Amino acid sequence: MGTRGTGPGHRPATACLLAPSARERLVAAMAATCAEHGYRAASVEDVLARTGLPRQAFDEHFADKAECAIAALDELLSETTQAVSRAQAPEFADWRRLLLATRALLELLAAQPSAARLALIEARTAMPAEAYDRYAAGIRVLVALLDRVRTYADGGAPASATRGAIGGAELLIRRELLAGREDRLPELLPDIIYGTVVPFLPQQEALRYAALARELLSDGG
Amino acid sequence: METVPTEMVDLDRERLLEAALTQLGERGRGAMSVSGLAAAADASVEEFSTAYPDLDSCLADAYELLTRRLFAAIQAGCAADDELPTASERSWAARVRRGLEALLGGLVDDLGAARTLTITYPSLGPVEQARYQGFVEAIAALMREQWKADGGAGDLPDEVEMLAVGAAEAIVVEEIRAGRGGELRRMAPEILFSVLVPYLGAAAATEEMERARLDR
């Protein structure tokens, strides 16, 4: 087999190693198109127009619009899992892990507002069932994170309280995404931390964690 | 020229909007047509066209009707009632509970409309999603107003009402999506916990949840 070819994996000799691949460009363009028009109205043609790539390039990587949009969700889900994992250093106390993981997640969503919108808005209602499964998987990552806090609870909170706590954060994030204020997402950290721990800890302690989150924001540390 | 009495026009419009909600829930937007909707509402295409320029404008009005009814039910539930015999029944938490029960009751009584409200209509596009978000945020604003009117204080986060309403919204939508919407009335006490806990803390919210369970 020769070293030069014309198949999907081939790149011209002038291609920069760091430049996004056609697949990456298509995935990013799909997220941006869905953010602008909604998943239902988004078309492969819109995606191609954003990238300047030919239809053949799309067909080499994806069977249809849904597969490409789900690839965008998978990328965000993978990055979410990595961001949360990085905050789980064993030397940190549980509250600090939660704080750092939540901050990392908000920064990730702020940096990728189109993918965030696809995951938190479109996948929840407008996309095929496979996409909802990805959304639900992302929620499970967060539930697992919160369940560590739950071990400190004295038992009063019902089973649905964890889902509710994440729901409060989601509503705030969706508000900012829909208003195009994604840059403000990291500023929500203190309120989101409060909302996620208050079902499980004494209220004064939850307020103290919100204060610590404010300190973390102002220190930038 | 003979004019149609206003009441008749309003009545026809309401029938049209009801039919639009039913068709959206049962068939989805893609299978709807102006002629099909007009026929379902015992109206002509011409009458439809006099009222609305297109199907989406009609759906927007139908959604507005749905959200207005639910919001009115929540507002009525939350309204202060000085006639109630005990202080605990007149409390802010009890009013929130009645508002929540009114919402959940409205959803359970018409699960098709509940799905249209939370999933089918918002899925149509960014404008429709924004209308749904607006409805949810209006409930949050009502909570803020009631909390302040009740003299609610404490060094709570600025977004406390969004945390409260978002908690209920997430649980409700998950149940409706999973086809368990019929369980929402039974779940009212635990959803109440999630709504109250950002304001009152876990201990007081647990007490209110237990009280709601005992009252059932």
- Digit-coded pLDDT (tens) for A36-88: 999 999 999 999 999 999 999 999 999 999 999 999 999 999 998 898 888 88
Q: Which of B133, B201, B209 sits opposite A175 (nearest CB)?
A: B133
The confidence score (pLDDT) of residue A2 equals 36
Q: Which of B82, B134, B128, B76 is nearest to B106 (CA)?
A: B76
> What angle do the packed helices B160-177 and B188-200 form, to 10 degrees?
160
Supply A115's token pair.
């993918």
Neighboring chain A residues of B124 at a CB cutoff of 8 Å: 38, 40, 126
The confidence score (pLDDT) of residue B12 equals 78
Q: CB distance from B16 to chain A under 8 Å?
A: no
* Most confidently modeled range among A8-12, A132-136, A186-190: A186-190
Min Cα separation A202/chain B (Å): 7
Ramachandran bin of B24, using left for φ above 0, alpha for ψ from -120 to 50, beta for the remaining angles: alpha
pLDDT grade, residue B149 (50/70/90)? Answer: confident
The confidence score (pLDDT) of residue A156 equals 83
Residue showing tokens 């015999």: B85
pLDDT grade, residue B82 (50/70/90)? Answer: confident
Surface of B (33-72) touching A: CB under 8 A:
none
Residue B62 to residue B64: CA distance in whole angstroms: 5
Residue A211 to residue A145: CA distance in whole angstroms: 20
Neighboring chain A residues of B167 at a CB cutoff of 8 Å: 164-165, 167-168, 195
Q: Is the pLDDT of residue A7 over 60?
A: no
| Amino acid residing at B212 | A
**How many C-beta atoms surround the C-beta of residue A184 within 10 A?**
14
B172 to chain A: nearest residue by CA?
A164
Q: How many domains does chain B have?
A: 1
The confidence score (pLDDT) of residue A91 equals 78
Surface of B (129-188) touching A: CB under 8 A:
129-130, 133, 136-137, 140, 155, 157-160, 162-171, 173-174, 177, 187
What is chain B's mean pLDDT, rounded? 91
The confidence score (pLDDT) of residue A74 equals 94
Instruction: Examine residue B96 and state whether it is found in any structural domain, yes or no.
Output: yes
Give me the long-range contacts of A38-41 (CB less than 8 A, separation at least 24): A38/A122, A38/A126, A38/B124, A38/B125, A38/B126, A38/B129, A39/A69, A39/A118, A39/A122, A39/A126, A39/A127, A40/A126, A40/B123, A40/B124, A40/B125, A41/B125
**How many C-beta atoms surround the C-beta of residue B189 within 10 A?**
20
Residues B202, A153: C-beta atoms closer than 8 Å: yes
Residue B37 to residue A43: CA distance in whole angstroms: 27
Supply B50's token pair.
């006099």
Supply B100's token pair.
């929540």
Pick A71-219's CATH classification: 1.10.3470, 3.30.1490, 1.10.10, 1.10.357.
1.10.357
Surface of A (19-38) touching B: CB under 8 A:
36-38
The C-alpha torsion from B108 through B113 and B116 to B117, rounded to 10°, is -70
Q: CB distance from A125 to chain B under 8 Å?
A: yes
Model pTM score = 0.89
Min Cα separation B195/chain A (Å): 8
Residues A38, B209: C-beta atoms closer than 8 Å: no
Instruction: Examine residue B142 and state whether it is found in any structural domain, yes or no.
Output: yes
Range of the domain at B101: 82-215
What does the domain layout of chain A look like in residue ranges? 71-219
pLDDT grade, residue B9 (50/70/90)? Answer: low
Instruction: Examine residue B52 and state whether it is found in any structural domain, yes or no.
Output: no
Q: Is the pLDDT of residue B157 over 70?
A: yes
Residues A152-159 have a mean pLDDT of 80
- B59, B118, B197, B208: best mutation site toward chain A, by most A Cβ within 10 Å? B197
